[in-house]
Structure formats: structure tokens, C-alpha cells
Chains A and B, each alone.
Chain A
């Protein structure tokens, strides 16, 4: 049973960097797209990006200049860094496992999510 568990600070100050991790309890990280998705309070889902098990990354064009997603394969730990945060980055952040060949075509496993509030 694959499980994903997000963790990180629940409060981040404006202009600082948001850093989250996601522990992946799975025998293998292959051949998946390990991704982050966020959801502002009362709003819809927004795809942030992924790191493919082979190491390549792709980000949402609207966040590309501020986001870094990486994977520590030995620790099976997925990471998200989002710089220069503002109130609009307040959201529940989910890690998710993407399935697909050339691109992720669906997300079959999701973490429970972690709420991050950007406020001074």
C-alpha cells in the first residue's frame, strides 16, 4: 500500500521560501511522476509540477520562476521549494503520484495534504 505524507511549516512569512517534504512509502519510485498540487481555501486544484523518477522536471508556467521540485531517491522523499511567497500562495499543498508514459495522464495516489498560510 503506497502512502504519501506531507510535512512542513504551517506558517510562512511573505517574501520568504516555502519548503515542504513528502515521504513516499513505496517499494519503488519508478516509473512515476512525483508531483505537487495545491488548493487555496475554498477554491479549485492547481498543478504545481513534477519530478520524473529519472530526474527531469516540469513546472506550471505561472510558478516556474519560483518553484523547485526534487526527489531524494535514497530517502524516498519528495521536496517542494517555492520562493518569494505571498498571500496568494496560502493553500493546502498535496503531493501526488503521477502515472503515464510521456507525461502524467492521471494521479492515482495522493497525500492527505498540509495547510500552509502565508502571513506576517
Chain B
């Protein structure tokens, strides 16, 4: 059972902005940087955001992220059909001798 909670689903029409939340605690989001991963259907996850709000080269600036306290969020603006995927937040958790933890995941549907 993940300690990072995300809404199971989110949706929007092309061009809209979709926002996904990720709720954690002081031992994870509150104390460590957050990453976001995109998983297209049938493929491996890929890094979308690291260090709370940094995009790797090649990731469109339509994807943005922020963090405040023990919560983080990912925004997808100008939603496109190819954005339909599962999105996971993730971070290190300092409890239980330390471990990396992924969020529960959010399925984004483009209507």
C-alpha cells in the first residue's frame, strides 16, 4: 500500500489543463524531492519531472509541477491525445530505514 496518494483518474478535452495531486507526509514529500513518471499503455515508465519541478530534455513545457509542504502536483496544459497515460509521483521516504515510494497512480483520459 503506497504512502503517496493520487486520485485514480483525471480527464479533460484536448487543449484543456489537467492537474494531478500527490499527497504524502513529512517523511517523504516533506523532506525529499518529487519526481513524476509517465507510463503510456503497455510501455515502461519514463521520467517526466525530477527535483520537484525540473523537466528532462525532450519533455514538453506543457508539463509542469510544483510542491508545497507534504503535497505535490503535476499540471498538463494544452492536453493532447498522446498524453493519455498513467502518471505516478514518487520520492524517497526516510521512514523504515528508507525506501523509494511511488504514488498510487492516476489514469489520465483525453475525452
With A47-B101, A50-B100 known, 7 other A-B pairs at CB within 8 A are: A61-B96, A103-B98, A104-B92, A105-B33, A105-B35, A105-B51, A106-B50
A103 to B92, alpha carbons, bound, how many Å? 8
Q: Is the interface of A mostly helix, strand, loop or mixed?
A: strand
Min distance, Cβ A74 to any Cβ of chain B, angstroms? 26
A79 to B105, alpha carbons, bound, how many Å? 27
Q: Which residues of A contact B25 (CB under 8 A)?
A: none
Interface centre among A58, A100, A103, A105 (most CB of B within 10 A): A105
- The interface stretch among B11-19, B39-47, B61-69, B71-79 is B39-47
Q: Which residues of B contact A61 (CB under 8 A)?
A: 96-97, 99
Is the CB–CB distance between B92 and A105 below 8 Å?
A: yes
A100 to B15, alpha carbons, bound, how many Å? 35
Name the interface size band of chain B.
Answer: 20 to 34
Is the CB–CB distance between B103 and A44 below 8 Å?
A: yes
Binding site for B on A (CB under 8 A): 35, 37, 44-47, 50, 58, 60-61, 94, 98-100, 103-108, 110-113
B60 at the interface (CB under 8 A from A): no
Q: Which residues of A contact B96 (CB under 8 A)?
A: 61
Q: Which residue of A lies closest to B36 (CB)?
A: A106
A58 to B97, alpha carbons, bound, how many Å? 9
A37 to B90, alpha carbons, bound, how many Å? 12
Q: Which residues of B contact A94 (CB under 8 A)?
A: 44-45
Q: Which residues of B contact A107 (CB under 8 A)?
A: 35, 37, 45, 47, 90
A110 to B92, alpha carbons, bound, how many Å? 18
Is the CB–CB distance between B102 and A104 below 8 Å?
A: no
Q: Which residue of A lies closest to B54 (CB)?
A: A106
Q: A44-B104, A103-B92, A108-B56 are in contact. Are A58 and B45 (CB under 8 A)?
A: no
Q: Which residue of A lies closest to B96 (CB)?
A: A61
Q: A45-B45, A45-B88, A103-B92 are in contact. Are A108 and B104 (CB under 8 A)?
A: no
Is the CB–CB distance between B102 and A106 below 8 Å?
A: no
Min distance, Cβ A96 to any Cβ of chain B, angstroms? 8
B9 at the interface (CB under 8 A from A): no
Please pick, from B32, B44, B90, B105, the residue contacting A111 in the complex, using a CB distance under 8 A. Answer: B44
